[in-house]
Amino acid sequence: MPPKVNVVSLVSIGRHPQSGRSRRAEQDGRAVELGLKLSKKSLTVVHAGDAQEPVLRQYAGMGLDSLTVLPQPADGDALPILVDFLKSSKAQVVLTGVRAESGESSGMLPYLLAEQLGWPLVPRVAEILTIKQGAAEVLLALPRGQRRSVIVSLPFIATVDNAAAEARQTAFGPGLRADFKVLDVNSVKDEAMATWQISAAKPRPKRLKVVKAKTAADRMKAATAKPVGGGGKVMKNETAAEKAQAIFDLLLEEKVVR
Amino acid sequence: MILDWLPPTLIGFLLVLAGIGAIRRMNLWRAGQAEKVNILAGLLAMPKRYLHDLHHVVERDKYMSRTHVATGGGFVLAMVLVLFVHLFGVKSEILAWALLAALVLMFCGALFVYKRRMNPPSRLSKGPWMRLPKSLLTFSITFFVLTLPAAGILPEGTGGWVLTLVLSVLILMSLSEMLFGMTWGGPMKHAFAGALHLAFHRRPERFGGGRSTGLKPAVLGEASHGVAKPTDFKWNQLLGFDACVQCGRCEAVCPAFAAGQPLNPKKLIQDMVVGFAGGTDAKYAGSPYPGVDVGNAKGAPDQIITNGLISSDTLWSCTTCRACVEECPMMIEHVDAIVDMRRFLTLEKGETPNKGAQVLENIIATDNPNGYSPASRTHWAADQNLNLMKDVKQADVLFWVSDGAFDMRSQRILRAFVKLMKAANIDVAILGDEELDSGDVARRLGDDAAFQSLAKRNLATLSKYSFKTIVTTDPHAFHCLKNEYGDFGSDALKGVEVLHHTTFLNRLVKEGRLQLDTFKGGKVTYHDPCYLGRYNGEYDAPRELLASLGIDVAEMERSGYRSRCCGGGGGAPITDIPGERRIADMRMEDVVSTGAEMVAVGCQQCTAMLEGVVEPRPVVKDIAEILVSQLSEEVNS
Amino acid sequence: MSEFPSTEATSSGLLRRDPRTEWIARNRLHPLHSSVVSAGQGEVRGPTGLLRKNPHVIGFIGPNGIKRIDRANLSAAGLNSKKRAGEAKEVQLPLHVVDNPDGYIMVVADMIGGRLTSHDKDILGLAHQLVAENKAADKGNIAVVLVCFGESKETQFDLAGVDRLLHITGQEFEGFAPEARLSALMQIEAQYKPENWLFPDSIHGGTDLACRLASRLGERPATQAWQVTATSTVSRGASGSCDISRETPRILMLMEECANAIEDTRHQVLDLEFDVNSVDTGDNYRLIDQGQIEVDSNAVPLAEAEFILSAGNGIHNWDQFHAVAAALRATEGASRVAVDDGFMPRSRQVGASGTWVTARVYLAVGISGAIQHMQGIGQCDKVVAINTDAGCDMVKRADLAVIEDSEAVLEALMKLAQEHYSSKEQEKSDAA
């Protein structure tokens, strides 16, 4: 994709939803994948955090020769150091996931970076189609597989949606051998976070269906009526056309056929 | 006589050429990686390995075994005597007569070889191999005639120089094949490489009735992992490839080949030879990989194998069922080679096809291939009242549940087995959520890093508790625990008996601890799981168990060590290489052809694969499920 | 207004008659006659003090649509009896009035398709909870303002709890216009200095806009908030695995069901003063919306698809199947067997070993329903089965099952779909 674009992918430590174990974050992995597609080997992958974290080897195993680490304590604020880094790196496209899988996972980081760098931000990108003449054509992911096309001027920050191309397999060997460039940066403590109380997620109460019956008879009915369901309707003896009509009515009712 | 010097000179000349060829060939093998082998002991053991172990395998085809004894034995004897009689000129009528006898033997053998080559089955390679019987016949006749004077049957000088000249030409022709070809890549190469391969085999435990099926651990943390180039194989693996006789027995039993997937074990081994010797596969004259044309593969010792020599789909088609290894008369280790090459694809290239990447990622992040919550591993046993090792610390029997715990179908097997153990009052415990995937799938998919990590963590857990026996219903886990966990320097399994549940149940039945009613259902056949049968040699216990229910097993044509794979091993359902048929469907056809109404299985993976065949088909049940339905009520209460 | 049916059904469907009133109404000589008759209408006097009779009230429209005049005055009694029942039916919800508010809480709605989503309504409900808390703490009178962009089709803002409405329309705010919308929000911020900004934490643009506003204002918002009071907020963190409790920030992105929607009050829905033209809309926007692009229903990833037509072993006519999928604009799925047999690519496989789908409607044709397949469709709302075997698992699971050969039903479906879409086309071209 000429001319050469300087792409930076920001990665964080993910969290497996079932085991809670560290992993390559789903969206960040896609950000690296998209970055590799755009700029092949010249992609810069940056992590702000612990350089010893073994999960970084999983990112490196996607075929990165090196990975840049801006060392940070767990309670550090990644924003200022990333702003400094991006300013000095002459990045043109910065890719991240929409939300981190660990920490606050607020999804604010890309917005704050964009604000401080004065760059535009494209949210929930599914694909970057072209980059030419200082602008990129980007496809945004909308719900249910829909897409929107947007043109954005360089440099910009994009958050990568789950609809983007899946991250390639991570290979053990290259990951093990990749070179980690650990930069010397000052870390800034995230003061606000220290005042928070963090606990394991409580299950959210399910919203109950409140019966708004105005009369005694209605309330009686609501209390004694059998729950709907328990085996659907089965059509056996009707004609094929009638059966098809029944199906089609259901499709219309559910608004999947419009 | 003017030309008397000619035959000995020719013999000597070809011997020298053969010597040079041998050194060149050895250098090709030596390009492989170092592997410690006891050279002297190997050479000393070689004749016995040849005469006993190899012959044992060849003996499965009686025709060929006798033919080979006559031809091969006759040739070796004749060749030695030829040296004495014709090269060194030892004047002894006894030797000459012996030589004549050897040549007659060889001639008879060669006749049968010739007969077989008249209309060869498709599994045999053609090409130069079609020439071999003629060369053998020529050799025996030529030297027979040449020896007649030495034996005193014909006077010296019979036929004059014309005959000598004719014989010399024939000597040149036949000895070129037999000596020159032996070390320069002709069909007779198998004798030379084969003998050395038997001497320096990578798994010497296989000889003398032993069994060695566990994969060798990969060394992690080096500049590259797995086998990328032919020279990344161990030298004795390269030697092993060279020993191939292209008899195609592997091809005949390979389930992937039969299913039309692009794998043919024989071609694979030949391609390995092309790889380390350099060149193309244009001269290959056997069946191709299904759907792949012969002649386009190029290889060189330092060229990446999957770049032009073989396609990675070939490697991923293998179900690691070991049928080819079991069947190979040269005891070549196909599965080792395939997994070695897969290791490169997975660990270095990150190119495990289809669901492979996701499965490996799940295994790394959740310790099970489907990414279920590790905390839900024991949910199946919520109503089973099983002791957890964490609580009891020790038990007679540790029940290794395996990943069947997450699968609803497999859970039925697990419950059945638990019920049987309870009926027999076994002191049993499970590891519960502490258990991890055995690593079988990760290892067969080439991710030895994930396997080793799982193995070490499992061993660490096991070492915390004391038990005498581990039982599992999963032959894959059984194989890992029994044959592969030993490589990681842990004492956790020292003195522990690792058993498959059929073996264990068979003991209980024999000890009278399970009261079973006679089975009154219809005809039953039994499918041998590869990892129970060929990998671990357990063919009898399941059959004895069925017999104890009064079932007379209607055996399939391919059963026991020749059992056909269900298609579920080696991560094949995950890599899912397209073929023309499904392996499970073919296996179900085998079942149907016995007329059985039920097929008994001893493996949850086989159960899943066979049940995946579209109905109507015979019922698929694990042996534990069959037993539990025959459990006598009185014991229950 | 003029309907005096002789019998009246109450909301519970019960007929209430008062025989005594009916009797008095019939008897013009009864001392209470006049009061009973006039009770329904009441006396109306004109501006000069003259008693006025409303001619429209006399009589009623009969069941045939013909006006009837009831000399016997039976209906008047009916009206009387109706009164009690009518109370339950026509509840006029109390109006929540906010005059001269001391502050505002801004709720920026997603308004998908121009209507409030249930998510939006929950957030309006939460806004009123905050208002009530502020009131209790004597922090003044706060109005809930709904900020919405673009075209609105919503007619029930009053019932959703909107005290004030800021409806910002204009070409530049339509479609994907985060920069223009942010400028508008900044303008609102400057003009009204709201107490709180509430956004739905949604993929429909709420989160995006909220993050933009928060970073522009330099305020730290709470995202994925689900338990919010005026002082403290509990929000999810680390991909939903932990709860973070902190002081309630000014900008909040709220999860669905964070509060109950308004149900018992009506609200004023007064337009708030806002000059759209003063919004700094410039040429300096760097995101240019090219509009939504047409996505082939079959290109939609299976896991995201809304409507899946899935094929199994029972399909014999594959061309027909593909044609029906195209006609219904459904995404194609398949059972394992259909994939194994090579009729469908592996990526189309639905089930535990294939893709786990979330379709609203899953139409399974000729799939008997292996356990792995049923696991994969566990999250589907409605399952429809077409199968010849009435006893198979898919039929048991289905909300609607049709026992028939697939080919015949698919053919009929195909016809229906084609008719439906061609009549749609017709309508469109007529309208144009």
Q: Which of B500, B507, B534 is nearest to B426 (CA)?
A: B507
Interface TM-score (ipTM) > 0.95: no
Instruction: Tokens 């008095």: give the residue.
Output: C24
Q: Provide the CA A154 distance to its chain's centre, in angstroms.
A: 22
- A172/B365 Cβ within 8 A: no
Cα–Cα dist B179/B166, whole Å: 19
- The pLDDT value recorded for residue C2 is 39
Specify the amino acid at residue B209.
Answer: G
Is B348–A171 a contact, with Cβ atoms under 8 angstroms apart? yes
Measure CB to CB from residue C313 to each of B354, B573, B614 and give the nearest one: B614
Are B350 and A18 an interchain contact pair (Cβ–Cβ within 8 Å)? no
Q: Which of A143-152, B51-60, C142-151, C272-281 is predicted with the least confidence, judged by mean pLDDT? A: C272-281
Mean per-residue pLDDT for B603-617?
90
Q: B388: part of which helix (H) or strand (E)?
A: strand B387-388
Confidence class for position B226, pLDDT limits 50, 70, 90 = very high
C386 found inside a domain? yes
Q: Are A51 and A99 in contact (CB under 8 A)?
A: no
Q: Is B525 in contact with B594 (CB distance < 8 Å)?
A: yes
Question: Chain A residues with CB inside 8 Å of B457's CB?
Answer: none
Inside any domain, residue C8: no
Task: Tell me what pLDDT residue C48 has.
Answer: 75
Q: Which of B376-380, B435-439, B458-462, C16-20 has the lowest mean pLDDT?
A: C16-20
User: Which run of H or E residues covers position B112?
Assistant: helix B93-118
According to the model, what pLDDT value does residue C9 have?
Answer: 46
Asked if A172 is an interface residue toward chain B (Cβ–Cβ < 8 A), one would say yes
pLDDT digits (tens, 9 = 90+) for B107-155: 999 999 999 898 889 999 998 899 899 999 999 999 888 888 877 787 7
Residues 6+ apart with CB under 8 A from C27: C33
The pLDDT, as a whole number, for residue C81 is: 44
The verdict on residue C361 lying in a domain is yes
- 10 Å CB burial of residue B329 (0-12, 13-18, 19+) is buried
Residue B160 exposure: Cα atoms within 13 Å on the Cβ side = 1
Strands (DSSP E) contained in B9-78 are none
Same domain flag for C319 and C223: no
Token pair of B577, please? 């290489």
- Say what the pLDDT of residue B476 is: 96
- pLDDT of C71 reads 66
Tokens standing for residue C193: 């200095």
Give the one of A23, A24, A172 whose C-beta lies nearest to B447's C-beta: A172
Q: CA-based diameter of chain B, in Å?
A: 100
pLDDT 10s digits, B70-98: 999 999 999 899 888 888 888 888 888 99
Does residue C423 sit within a domain? yes
pLDDT band at C84 (very low <50, low <70, confident <90, very high): very low
The C-alpha atoms of residue A135 and residue A93 are separated, in whole angstroms, by: 10
Nearest-5° Cα angle at C352, C364 to A230: 55
**Which of the residue ranges B373-377, B433-437, B518-522 would you say has the lowest mean pLDDT?**
B518-522
Does residue C283 sit within a domain?
Answer: no
Predicted confidence (pLDDT) per residue in A14-28, tens digit:
999 888 899 999 999
Q: Which DSSP state fits A40?
A: G
Considering CB atoms only, which of C337, C342, C371 is closest to B409? C371
For C47-77, the pLDDT digits (tens) are: 777 777 666 666 666 667 777 776 665 555 4
| Distance (Å, whole) CA B191 – CA C273 | 99
Q: How confident is the model at residue B29 (pLDDT cuts 50, 70, 90)?
A: very high
Q: Output the pLDDT for position C80.
A: 46
What pLDDT, in 10s, does the model give residues A30-65?
A: 999 999 998 888 899 999 988 899 999 999 999 899
Q: What average pLDDT score do residues C304-318 get?
A: 89
Q: Are residues C111 and C84 both part of a single domain? A: no
Confidence (pLDDT) at C82: 45
* Cβ C202 vs Cβ A124: under 8 Å: no
Q: Where are the domains of chain A?
A: 7-190
> For residue B209, what are its two tokens?
């009735």
Average pLDDT over chain C, rounded to an integer: 82
**Are residues C80 and C3 in contact, defined by beta-carbon separation less than 8 angstroms?**
no
d(CA C367, CA C369): 5
Inter-chain CB proximity C370 and B576 less than 8 Å: no
pLDDT in tens, B524-564: 999 999 999 999 999 999 999 999 999 999 999 999 999 99
- For chain A, counts of helices (H) and of strands (E): 8, 13
* CA trace torsion B237, B239, B242, B243 (10° rounding): -100
Chain B contact probe: residue of A13, A15, A19 with most B CBs at under 10 A = A19
Task: C59-63: list long-range contacts, CB under 8 Å, 24+ apart.
Answer: C59/C2, C59/C4, C60/C2, C60/C3, C60/C4, C60/C5, C61/C2, C61/C3
Same domain, C67 and C42: yes
* pLDDT at residue B44, rounded to an integer: 92
- Whether residue B320 is predicted with pLDDT greater than 60 in this model: the reply is yes
Does the distance separating the beta carbons of B225 and A19 come in below 8 Å? no
Coil, strand, or helix at residue C381?
coil
Tell me, yes or no, whether C85 and C99 share the same domain: no
Res B186: pLDDT = 87
CATH code: domain of residue C240: 3.40.50.620
d(CA B439, CA B481): 10
Locus of tokens 């196909």? B334
Task: With beta carbons under 8 A apart, name residues in chain A contacting C396.
Answer: 231
Q: What are B524's strand-pairing partners? A: B598
Residues C309, C327, single domain; the answer is yes
Same domain, C351 and C247: no
- Considering the domain architecture, whether residues C152 and C77 belong to the same structural domain is answered as no
Cβ atoms of B93 and B101 within 8 Å: the answer is no
Interface of A with B in 40-69 (CB under 8 A): 61-63
> Which residues are bridge partners to A151 per DSSP?
A137, C288
Which tokens sit at B273? Answer: 């030879």
Does position B202 have pLDDT exceeding 90, yes or no?
Answer: yes
User: Is residue A229's pLDDT more than 80?
Assistant: no
Nearest to B33 by CA among B215, B216, B238: B238
Would you say residue C86 has pLDDT above 50? no
Q: What is the spatial distance between Cα A65 and Cα C252, in angstroms, rounded to a whole number?
A: 41
Report the distance separating Cα C40 and Cα C25, nearest Å.
12
| DSSP designation for C245 | E
Smallest Cβ–Cβ distance between A150 and the set C290, C331, C395 belongs to: C290
Higher pLDDT: C163 or C43? It is C163
Cβ under 8 Å to C: A residues 103-162: 103-108, 111-112, 114-115, 120-124, 137, 139-140, 142-153, 156
Phi, psi of B559 (to 5 degrees): -140, 180
Smallest Cα distance from B349 to chain A, Å: 6
Angle at B457 between CA B455 and CA B463, to 5 degrees: 100
Asked if residue C260 belongs to a domain, the reply is yes
Neighbours of chain A (3+ CB pairs under 8 A): B, C
Same domain, yes or no, for C106 and C204? Answer: yes
What's residue C83's pLDDT? Answer: 44
What dihedral do alpha carbons A101, A102, A105, A108 form, nearest 10°?
-100
Q: Which residue has the higher pLDDT, B604 or A235?
A: B604
Q: Do A248 and C402 touch (CB under 8 A)?
A: no
pLDDT-derived band of residue B307, with 50, 70 and 90 as boundaries?
Answer: very high
When comparing pLDDT for B540 and C3, which is higher? Answer: B540
Domains: count for chain C: 3
Euclidean distance between CA atoms A142 and A13, whole angstroms: 26
The residue segments making up the domain with residue C389 are 297-428
Q: List, as ranges, residues 167-206 from A with C-beta within 8 Å of C.
A: 192, 195-202, 204
Residues of chain A contacting B350 with CB distance shorter than 8 Å: 61-63, 168-171, 174
Whether C10 is covered by a domain: the verdict is: no
Task: With a cut of 80, say whether residue C139 has pLDDT above it.
Answer: no
- Topology of domain A7-190, CATH: Rossmann fold (3.40.50)
CA distance A94 to B479: 48
- Indicate the residue of B220, B352, B371 with minimum beta-carbon distance to A169: B352
Residue A120, chain B, CB below 8 Å: the answer is no
Among residues C278, C309, C343, which one ends one of the domains? C278
The candidate with the shortest Cα–Cα distance to C314, out of C410, C416, C415, C381, is C410
Cβ contacts below 8 Å, chain B against chain C, sum to 15
pLDDT score recorded for residue B393: 93
Determine how β-strand B466-472 pairs with β-strand A179-182.
Answer: unpaired
Residue C12 belongs to some domain of the structure: no
- pLDDT at position C4 over 60: no
Residue A159, phi-psi category: left (phi > 0), alpha (psi -120 to 50), beta (remainder): beta
B3, pLDDT greater than 70 = no
Question: Which residue of chain B comes nearest to C336, CA vs CA?
Answer: B612
Q: Among all residues of chain B, which has the CA nearest to that of C312?
A: B614
Please indicate, yes or no, whether residues C101 and C158 belong to a single structural domain of this protein.
yes
Chain C CB contacts of A234 under 8 Å are: 390, 395, 398, 401-403
List the structure tokens of B606.
Answer: 């086989």
> Closest chain A residue to B220 measured between Cα atoms?
A173
Mean pLDDT across B598-623: 92
| pLDDT (0 to 100) of residue C171 | 81
Strand segments, DSSP code E, in C151-273 are: 164-168, 196-200, 222-228, 232-237, 242-247, 251-254, 266-267, 270-271
* Same-domain pairing of C140 and C187: yes
pLDDT, tens digit, 9 for 90 and up, residues C325-379: 988 888 999 998 888 888 888 888 998 778 888 888 899 999 988 888 888 888 8
Say whether pLDDT at C274 is over 90: no
- Nearest chain C Cα distance for residue B258, angstroms: 16
| Distance between A174 CA and the closest CA of chain B, angstroms | 6
Helix (H, G, I), strand (E, B) or coil at A47: strand
At B91 the pLDDT is 81
pLDDT score at C57: 60
Interface test with chain A among B348, B354, B445, by most A beta carbons within 10 Å: B348
What pLDDT, on a 0 to 100 scale, did the predictor assign at position A1? 46
In this structure, the answer to whether residues C83 and C174 fall within a common structural domain is no
- Residue C79 pLDDT > 60: no
Joined tokens for residue B308: 């032009």
Tell me the nearest-neighbour CA distance from A19 into chain B, angstroms. Answer: 5
Q: Which of C341, C353, C388, C389 to mutate to test the interface with B (most CBs of B within 10 A)?
A: C353
Q: Does C313 touch chain B (CB under 8 A)?
A: yes
Res. C37: pLDDT tops 80:
no
**Whether residue C33 sits in one domain with residue C138:** no
